[in-house]
């Protein structure tokens, strides 16, 4: 597993970094090939937060937590990603090439979660107008939505602006090459 650490308004010690690598390396047992793991740690309003994203074969597994103790947050995000993989075991096996993800886990620890169906309850079509990011945020706020899809005026890429939990805004851009 390859690790990439990013620190935001905080410096983490080598001991915490080693602890994170040790705990998150436990997820490596699911992957036949090497997975890339991005660990972002930050501090905001007196609390520390961690966001872990594991990328494997085009699929992203992500967990984030906020609290006081960084080591306990690392434990929680590791368990969260582990649970995501276990819960979606059947779907992941179908999506990945056969044998590229391993599920030879201890049967004592196996958690049986019933497979849920994805129910599409509404389909909507609308024209996607070219606009600036600021205009898209304004439109999203006027509609009182949590996200808004638009085409960037400058790059012609499909984009999504969304309201973040910390009160800011995020932008997702398509990577059409």
Domains of the chain: 2-95 (3.30.160.100), 130-173 (3.30.505.50)
> How many CB atoms lie under 10 A from the CB of residue 167?
6
Instruction: Please say whether the dihedral angle defined by the alpha carbons of residues 146, 152, 155 and 159, taken in this order, is positive or negative.
Output: positive
Q: pLDDT digit of tens for each residue in the chain (177 aa)?
A: 899 999 998 999 999 999 999 999 998 888 778 889 999 999 988 899 999 998 887 778 889 999 999 999 999 999 999 988 887 776 776 665 555 555 554 444 444 455 567 788 888 887 888 999 998 888 888 777 889 999 999 888 999 999 988 889 999 998 876
Is 80:50 a contact under the CB 8 Å cutoff?
Answer: no
Nearest alpha carbon to residue 24 among 68, 90, 71: 71
What is the DSSP code (8-state) at residue 101? B
Nearest alpha carbon to residue 41 among 14, 13, 8: 8
């Amino acid at each position: 597993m390859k690790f990439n650490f990013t620190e935001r308004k905080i410096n983490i010690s080598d001991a915490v970094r080693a602890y994170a690598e040790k705990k998150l390396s436990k997820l490596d047992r699911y992957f036949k090939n090497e997975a890339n793991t991005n660990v972002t740690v930050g501090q905001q309003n007196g609390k520390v937060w961690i966001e872990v994203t594991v990328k494997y074969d085009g699929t992203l597994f992500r967990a984030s937590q906020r609290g006081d103790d960084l080591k306990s947050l690392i434990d929680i995000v590791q368990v969260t990603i582990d649970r995501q993989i276990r819960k979606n075991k059947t779907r992941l096996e179908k999506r990945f090439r056969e044998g590229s993800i391993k599920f030879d886990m201890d049967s004592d620890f196996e958690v049986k979660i019933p497979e849920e169906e994805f129910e599409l309850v509404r389909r909507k079509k609308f024209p996607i107008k070219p606009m600036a990011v600021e205009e898209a945020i304004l439109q999203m706020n006027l509609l009182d939505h949590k996200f808004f899809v638009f085409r960037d005026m400058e790059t012609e890429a499909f984009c999504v602006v969304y309201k973040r939990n910390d009160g800011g805004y995020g932008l997702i851009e398509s990577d059409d090459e």
